[in-house]
Amino acid sequence: MKLVRFGQPGAERPGILASDGTLRDLSGLVPDIGGAVLSDQGLAMLRALDPLVLPQVPEGARLGPPVAGVGKFICIGLNYADHAAESGMEVPPEPVIFMKATSAICGPDDPVLIPPGSEKTDWEVELAFVIGKRARHVPEERAMEHVAGYMIANDVSERSFQIEHAGQWTKGKSYDHFGPVGPWLVTRDAVADPQDLAMRCTVSGQVMQQGSTRTMVYGVGFLVSYLSRFMTLEPGDIVSTGTPPGVGMGMKPPRYLRAGDVLELEVEGLGRQRQEVVADPLG
């Protein structure tokens, strides 16, 4: 099952992808894609519907983030050994955790903004998962029960803000529009193995990243269990699991985003994102 949210920013409505490829409006049945709707019971109710009897979403409608009411946007750093190597860093003995501000979240095809003064804005295609059931000190063998589904995330990063300024990574990860997610939330039952998904990112038509979640150091189940030791995970929380090699920072010489670039990101079975890169007009 593929769930979406459509409409203008801040006024998105819940929807579902029907078998004929059309988007259908769920707003008469659920308030949004979040909270109790993400539970096994809520998703089972939606799964029992026939989407083809629901109102069709107008063609060309903007897709927003497929999850509403995100409380935490948690990211895992250096979770691919080959990406750690290109970054000049070692694979950590435990997951590196940092937070991305929820104000960075945007739709899958919304523009990526280059902050004023930025010269090192970078891309990162990632597999993200969404929590569907509250998780607190969860054993790894029960961890997947707490996952509602999966989606693509672009962990856009300003490397100077992230690395060259004092302090934590969060400041280089949280600018507005640095968190495109979607297009869909693909429910857990529709993804046979989250640790075997091809990933790809192109910049202005050039393939930059081409990898697989097979090479993740710490998998989804482990991350749910691990994170739940340090914080309670609530329905709607997003966890973005790291990126394979091919980011701009790792190239020789480095290649960063410029206004006019176009990003296209794919994760097998989870759809595609397309973002135009623009200079923030507020700058």
Q: How confident is the model at residue 25 (pLDDT cuts 50, 70, 90)?
A: very high
pLDDT of residue 58: 95
Give dist(CA 80, CA 229) in Å, integer.
22
Q: How confident is the model at residue 99 (pLDDT cuts 50, 70, 90)?
A: very high
pLDDT of residue 235: 98
Mean pLDDT, rounded, for 175-195: 98
pLDDT of residue 122: 98
Instruction: Enumerate the H helices of the chain as residue ranges.
Output: 40-47, 81-86, 159, 220-230
**Domain 68-279 is of which CATH architecture?**
Alpha-Beta Complex (3.90)
pLDDT in tens, 31-75: 999 999 999 999 999 999 999 999 999 999 999 999 999 999 999
Rounded to two decimals, the pTM is: 0.96
Is the pLDDT at 258 greater than 90, yes or no? yes
Give dist(CA 128, CA 149) in Å, integer.
9
Take residue 277 and report the two structure tokens written for it. Answer: 């890169």
Is the pLDDT at 282 greater than 90, yes or no? no
pLDDT in tens, 133-155: 999 999 999 999 999 999 999 99
pLDDT of residue 283: 59
Parallel, antiparallel or unpaired: strands 73-77 and 147-154: unpaired
Contacts 24+ apart (CB under 8 A), 251-260: 254/120, 255/203, 255/208, 256/119, 256/120, 256/121, 256/122, 256/159, 257/112, 257/114, 257/121, 257/122, 257/123, 257/203, 258/114, 259/114, 260/204
pLDDT in tens, 212-255: 999 999 999 999 999 999 999 999 999 999 999 999 999 999 99
Q: Where are the domains of the chain?
A: 68-279
What's the full length of the chain, in residues? 283
Residue 147 parent element (H or E): strand 147-154
Greatest extent of the chain over all pairs of C-alpha atoms, in Å: 55
Sign of CA dihedral 214, 215, 218, 220: negative
The overall average pLDDT reported for the chain is 96
Torsion angle defined by CA atoms of residues 135, 141, 147 and 148, in that order, rounded to the nearest 10 degrees: -120
